[in-house]
Amino acid sequence: MSGADESTGRGHVIAVANLNGGVGKTTTTVNLGACLADQGRRVLIIDLDPQANATSGLDLNPREIEESMYEVLTGGASLEQIIEPTAVRNLFVAPATLRLSRAEARLITEYGREARLRTALETVVGDYDYVLIDCPPSMGVLSINALTCANEVLIPVQSEYFALEGVGLLMDQLADVKRDLNPTLAPPHIVLTMYDARANLAKTVVRDVREFFGEQMVCRTVIPRSIKLSESPQEGKPITVYAPTSTGATAYRSLAQEVLGRVEGHV
């Protein structure tokens, strides 16, 4: 991403993506962002999912937002104009609304549609240490925009049967984006989510994913299945605010340390 300083992590863009829904994608985006912000990093979350769950999960009401990512992608507003602060210090959000569901049809015939977000982000990326993009669970124009401007991709994979369903297809599409649109895109990382330590199947899935993709690609941190993690979006709060001593909060702090270590070269 132009404007990023990779020696410090400044302007590092992470797209959080999976073609499957219900895998903890938005949960990971919001809580990883909050944990990075708690570490003193200035973080921007871009909600690129028309369901707007990252927006509502940070206590913004999508129905009350006048300008959102739809306006940014279609030329009606700049990214800087729509960014909102959150209750977490150092954490900001570029919100989505249901209007974003119309963006695919609006952009499909327009020239340069894959690079709309990259162009918009260039004006503000230097103001943030990390930019996390919550992608929709599909490989349409919105996700392509995210991958075109990302430095890397984080793939949440649930620790359940059929966990790898769709991941192979996503890997193929990442290779296409790297070849055609974003040659600097780094190899993706997988984070295992919804882990139930009491279930033998979950342990088997974790083992199989690590064996199949290799230790370098799979994050050490495993995110547990947690009632508190499920409740926190309804309260409009990251887990570090809603239940700071919970196992979910501890896990996302650990994941943030992994990201910091990988990007900035230290833990």
Query: Strands 43-47, 91-94: parallel, antiparallel or unpaired by DSSP?
Result: parallel
One-letter amino acid at 43 equals: V
**What is the value of pTM for the model shown?**
0.94
Lowest mean pLDDT among 37-41, 135-139, 203-207: 203-207
Q: Give the tokens for residue 53.
A: 């769950």
pLDDT tens readout for residues 215-247: 999 999 999 999 999 999 999 999 999 999 999
C-alpha span between 16 and 133 (Å, rounded) = 6
**Which domains does the chain carry?**
12-262 (3.40.50.300)
DSSP state of 240: H
Q: Give the tokens for residue 57.
A: 């999960």
C-alpha span between 239 and 9 (Å, rounded) = 24
φ, ψ at 230 (rounded to 5°): -70, -35
C-alpha span between 187 and 24 (Å, rounded) = 20
Q: Give the tokens for residue 126.
A: 């230097």
One-letter amino acid at 124 equals: V
Q: Give the tokens for residue 80.
A: 């800087």
Return the pLDDT at 2.
Answer: 46
Instruction: Taking the CA atoms of 263, 158, 42 and 35 in sequence, report the sign of the dihedral they define.
Output: negative
- Cβ neighbours around 234 below 10 Å, total: 10
Report CA dihedral (164, 169, 174, 177) to the nearest 10 degrees.
-170
Residue 8 and residue 215 in contact, taking contact as beta carbons nearer than 8 Å: no
Nearest Cα residue to 178 out of 114, 119, 265: 114
pLDDT tens readout for residues 8-18: 447 999 999 99
Confidence of residue 1 (pLDDT cuts 50, 70, 90): low
Sheet harboring 12-16: ordered strands across?
84-85, 91-94, 43-47, 130-134, 12-16, 152-158, 189-195, 218-224
Mean pLDDT of all residues in the chain?
93
C-alpha span between 127 and 129 (Å, rounded) = 7
C-alpha span between 252 and 33 (Å, rounded) = 9
Return the pLDDT at 110.
Answer: 86
Q: Give the tokens for residue 38.
A: 């708690």
pLDDT tens readout for residues 132-172: 999 999 999 999 999 999 999 999 999 887 777 778 889 99
Residue 213 and residue 190 in contact, taking contact as beta carbons nearer than 8 Å: yes
Q: Which has the higher per-residue pLDDT, 71 or 109?
A: 71
pLDDT tens readout for residues 54-93: 999 999 999 999 999 999 999 999 999 999 999 999 999 9
Q: Give the tokens for residue 254.
A: 């650990």
Residue 106 and residue 74 in contact, taking contact as beta carbons nearer than 8 Å: yes
